[in-house]
Structure 1
Amino acid sequence: MSLREPETYDVVGVGFGPANLSLAISLEEHHANVLTAPITSTFFERQPCFGWHRNMLLPSATMQISFLKDLVTFRNPVSRFSFVAFLHEQDRLAQFVNRKEFFPTRREFHQYLEWAEARMSNVVSYGSTVTAIRRPPEPARSPADDHLQLEISDAVGGGTRVVNARNIVISTGLRPRMPEGVERDERVWHSSEFLEKYGRVKPEELRSVAVVGAGQSAAEITNFFYEQLPHAQVHAILPAYGYSVADDTPFANQIFDAAAVDDYYFGDDRERDAFWRYHRNTNYGVVDDADIRHLYQVSYDEEVAGVKRFHYLNLTKVRTVERNGRGRTVHLRSPHGRGPQKLEVDAIVFATGYDTMDPAELLGDLDRHCLRDESGKHRVTRDYRLVTTPDLNCGIYLQGGTEHTHGLSSSLLSNIAVRSGEIADSIVRRRAEQDLVPAGAVRSGVTG
């Protein structure tokens, strides 16, 4: 470990996906708008380079949100980091408008994210993993300038270093979810690794494939297999009768408006439960109408032609997956044994969703200073900051893991610009308040 005095930053971000990229931009734009000293920040990302769901950048797959819900526009419509500014610089703004579509392809939106990241690359270290967050040793603590220490492991050079942070913003992303008892391997994939794993096998080896799940990713991968592997049998394993349509009608889409966060955050338990019951079908386990209709038409055309290689296994779940040479035997469960009990495949993809991030895993012993509610979940302020005990003044903010307090949009792109702006505003405001505290004064009360 380096013996140099650790550098101290106002903000240290853990993870550098779209959420913390948006935050970095918001902090950058604060520099131009405040008269006080700029907020210093740095971010650490364990990946070797920037990437956002790279393994689901399927041909022609489109975003489910408007291009206006980019990194900045809902916070600052005149930002130089907007999607429109990106299109203008790429000299294809007119061509994009001529499409008469709100929704760019996922590949183009990823290009936009990379374009924005390239303008903020000076604040991020890639191949750098935050391995621990802790309070500084007792002699180094100052009640007037509280901070935390982060231990960083760098892939390049293999060294370890320490930085100090007055505020930490955790955005480590979602964790792929697999069914209990099923392990990933070279022929058992989660959708989050799809294109990478698919690229490692020869297409001609995939004569029978299966996709598990009923959401957007499952439908897209199923269609990809069907189009890219004309020689293969394609099996869609769904827990229901079929895919359910995503509700993207105008009234329902208001659930993703920034104002809806207040309705959820300040609502009681019954009101919050109603949010999920009424509006879960806007995002979870649902598929765009056009994709559903396309897959149904494919199945129907096969019925007309009398050639069947597209198989829907409805009301079916996977029990276990066994290795069988280079292939896999998939054991199934369906009501009354109505379908096949096992399936021989050359590859199977689980588009079974994600678990939200848990900050406790990263915080370690520090988590005991973070207060929890009656259900055991972290208490979070409206500005996405963990509520902590009185002796911990450093701000710990979450970009993700706050669905229980902030609702559906708390980890989605839909509200990313406003959310990052609120976090940046909170950090700037708190520093201004701290600057007014006389040296040596001791703060009191629960922070939050």
Structure 2
Amino acid sequence: MIAREHQIYDVVGIGFGPSNLSLAISLEEHRANVLTNPITSAFFEKQPRFGWHPNMLLPDATMQISFLKDLVTFRNPVSRYSFVSFLHSQGRLARFVNRQDFFPTRAEFHQYLEWAESSLSNVVTYSSAVTGIRLPPEALHGTPEYVEVDVRTATGETRTVNARNVVVSTGLVPRMPDGIKRDARVWHSSEFLARFAEVDPARLRRVAVVGAGQSAAEITKFFHDRLPEAQVTAIMPSYGYSVADDTPFANQIFDAAAVDEYYFGADGARDAFWRYHKNTNYGVADSDIIRDLFEIQYAEEVGGAKRLHYRNLTKVRAVEQAGDERIVHLVSQLEGEPQQLDVDAIVFATGYDSLDPSSLLGDLDRFCLRDESGRHRVERDYRLVTTPDLPVGIYLQGGTEHTHGLSSSLLSNIAVRSGEIADSIIQRRAERELVPAGALQAADS
């Protein structure tokens, strides 16, 4: 897709992962329901093609949410973009049902996302990184109608498109411990499969995984399965893995209704959400893989040939390069003395930092209001609270955990969240044009 530079788009989306893909579908379904003046949109993605955590598509890894929490179903159950529609198109619907399992593999869900994206190639431009957002020159003489979005292509060309609304969905930022840099043998889980493919497995005789969450557990098991001669060490800040709470009452915190409870709740209520229910997603692992790893450990103890090792209550202080090897300096809370571990590769499954739009907004950030803790204020419809000098809408898909709760950057609420953003943009345009909102027939929500 080639976005026209001089057209003013109703929506410019920055990033095209699942969140903005879901938004694009919501806007497409709105366009299909109106006869005149449809919403216009253009999306820009820095990757060369669509991909959702491609380096963690490990064999047999399953989703941690139901297939019904797809791009559309909770917003529009009859959408042609549902996971059920995908299965039907692939001739697998009956066989999937016969599995009697709510959770598809991660690889199959990725196929679903690619299938949905293939019908929306006309609204997205790949290999295009948004480098900044700024006011147009005419803003000096009045309130701006739009902002200018600067886009750099893979060839280094820079172009500008105009937007009445911007939706930022650039994803999470991989987090490494302070002072530790990634290199050819020091990896973050976000790059795991690509890095693993670059190394001869025969040269990986000693490997380590840092972390105690789902990704850490999956990579530890992957190493143990794929490297039958290797010593595998799991370095954990906790005393073993903790199970993810996926029980029915706890799962209610990911319901759309829970977003209202969090957003409009008092500070004490918000604190309680995190205090009691952080274990639904953060630093925890599924019970199945925990049991698998424990069985491996026990079987090795019985057999007397131990390859899987655990360093509990231990943190990495530094990683030192020594040729192709890496010397890992550890601090154990159990022993209190510095320790050393020599490895051929080490993976940090240490999570991600939330989206922070400040650098992308640049000078526009001065129009965005903040709370007492210095965080961006966000309206219920995921729109940044701005001064009247900036009527242009800036929406966030991610980075709103402090205002909207635990599901802000997760797939669980993606369909409803994207629908609410689409409805907000449509409603606000109707109000600007002094047209009754009902006449625009907003998308299902």
Partner of 1:442: none
Task: Report if the CA contact (8 A) 1:17-1:52 is conserved.
Answer: yes
Report the secondary structure of 2:228's partner residue. coil
Task: Report if the CA contact (8 A) 2:5-2:159 is conserved.
Answer: no
Shift of 1:34: 3.5
Q: Distance in 2 between matches of 1:168 and 1:333?
A: 45
Q: Distance in 2 between matches of 1:152 and 1:309?
A: 49
Partner of 1:440: none
Pairing 1:369-408 to 2, within 5 Å after superposition? 369-408=367-406
Given the superposition, is the C-alpha separation of residues 234 and 340 from structure 1 closer, same or farther in structure 2, using an over 3 Å criterion?
farther
Partner of 1:150: 149
Given the superposition, is the C-alpha separation of residues 141 and 93 from structure 1 closer, same or farther in structure 2, using an over 3 Å criterion?
farther
Shift of 1:338: 6.4
Q: What amino acid sits opposite 1:33 in the alignment?
A: N
Q: Distance in 1 between matches of 2:279 and 2:398?
A: 20
Shift of 1:268: 1.1
Shift of 1:335: 2.3
Deviations 1:369-428 (A, max 9, x none): 000001100000000000001111000000000000000001100000000000000000
Partner of 2:440: none
Task: Report if the CA contact (8 A) 1:150-1:162 is conserved.
Answer: yes
Length-normalised TM-score, structure 2? 0.95
Q: Does 1:296 align with 2:282?
A: no
Deviations 1:301-347 (A, max 9, x none): 01101111110111111010000110100000012536871100000
Q: Distance in 2 between matches of 1:214 and 1:423?
A: 34
Q: What amino acid sits opposite 1:148 in the alignment?
A: V
Q: Distance in 2 between matches of 1:79 and 1:355?
A: 33
Deviations 1:15-37 (A, max 9, x none): 00000000000000011224551
Deviations 1:338-372 (A, max 9, x none): 68711000000000000001010100111000000
Task: Report if the CA contact (8 A) 1:212-1:238 is conserved.
Answer: yes
Q: Does 1:169 align with 2:167?
A: yes
Report the secondary structure of 2:198's partner residue. coil
Task: Report if the CA contact (8 A) 1:313-1:339 is conserved.
Answer: no
Length-normalised TM-score, structure 1? 0.94
Task: Report if the CA contact (8 A) 2:145-2:164 is conserved.
Answer: yes
Shift of 1:142: 5.9
Q: Distance in 2 between matches of 1:35 and 1:375?
A: 46
Partner of 1:361: 359
Given the superposition, is the C-alpha separation of residues 146 and 236 from structure 1 closer, same or farther in structure 2, using an over 3 Å criterion?
same
Task: Report if the CA contact (8 A) 1:369-1:388 is conserved.
Answer: yes
Task: Report if the CA contact (8 A) 2:11-2:41 is conserved.
Answer: yes
Q: What amino acid sits opposite 1:378 in the alignment?
A: H
Q: Distance in 1 between matches of 2:261 and 2:99?
A: 35
Shift of 1:160: 1.1
Q: What amino acid sits opposite 1:192 in the alignment?
A: S
Report the secondary structure of 1:423's partner residue. helix
Deviations 1:194-221 (A, max 9, x none): 0000000000000000000000000000
Q: What amino acid sits opposite 1:343 in the alignment?
A: L
Q: What amino acid sits opposite 1:115 in the alignment?
A: W
Q: Distance in 1 between matches of 2:365 and 2:196?
A: 39
Partner of 1:242: 240
Given the superposition, is the C-alpha separation of residues 289 and 5 from structure 1 closer, same or farther in structure 2, using an over 3 Å criterion?
closer
Q: Does 1:184 align with 2:173?
A: no
Report the secondary structure of 2:407's partner residue. helix
Partner of 1:443: none
Q: Does 1:121 align with 2:133?
A: no
Shift of 1:140: 8.0
Pairing 1:153-302 to 2, within 5 Å after superposition? 153-155=152-154, 157-302=155-300
Q: Distance in 2 between matches of 1:141 and 1:34?
A: 35
Partner of 2:344: 346
Report the secondary structure of 1:341's partner residue. strand
Given the superposition, is the C-alpha separation of residues 141 and 161 from structure 1 closer, same or farther in structure 2, using an over 3 Å criterion?
farther
Report the secondary structure of 1:264's partner residue. helix
Q: Distance in 2 between matches of 1:126 and 1:396?
A: 21
Pairing 1:28-43 to 2, within 5 Å after superposition? 28-43=28-43
Q: What amino acid sits opposite 1:153 in the alignment?
A: R
Shift of 1:158: 2.7
Q: What amino acid sits opposite 1:30 in the alignment?
A: H
Partner of 2:434: 436
Report the secondary structure of 2:365's partner residue. helix
Report the secondary structure of 1:337's partner residue. coil
Q: Distance in 2 between matches of 1:257 and 1:132?
A: 34
Partner of 2:443: none
Q: What amino acid sits opposite 1:26 in the alignment?
A: S
Structure 2: tracts of 5 or more residues without a match: 436-445
Report the secondary structure of 2:317's partner residue. strand
Q: Distance in 1 between matches of 2:36 and 2:370?
A: 35
RMSD (Å), alpha carbons: 1.4
Q: What amino acid sits opposite 1:132 in the alignment?
A: G
Partner of 2:325: 327
Partner of 1:71: 71
Q: Distance in 2 between matches of 1:383 and 1:128?
A: 27
Q: Distance in 1 between matches of 2:113 and 2:90?
A: 13
Q: Distance in 2 between matches of 1:260 and 1:342?
A: 46
Shift of 1:159: 1.4
Q: What amino acid sits opposite 1:288 in the alignment?
A: D
Deviations 1:157-185 (A, max 9, x none): 43111110000000000000000010000
Q: Distance in 1 between matches of 2:285 and 2:5?
A: 52
Shift of 1:138: 2.6
Q: Distance in 1 between matches of 2:266 and 2:139?
A: 43
Q: Distance in 1 between matches of 2:166 and 2:231?
A: 49
Q: What amino acid sits opposite 2:387 in the alignment?
A: T
Q: Distance in 1 between matches of 2:138 and 2:120?
A: 35
Task: Report if the CA contact (8 A) 2:254-2:406 is conserved.
Answer: yes
Q: Distance in 1 between matches of 2:6 and 2:157?
A: 14
Q: Distance in 1 between matches of 2:217 and 2:47?
A: 28
Q: What amino acid sits opposite 2:64 in the alignment?
A: Q
Deviations 1:249-289 (A, max 9, x none): 00100000000000000011111000000100000000000
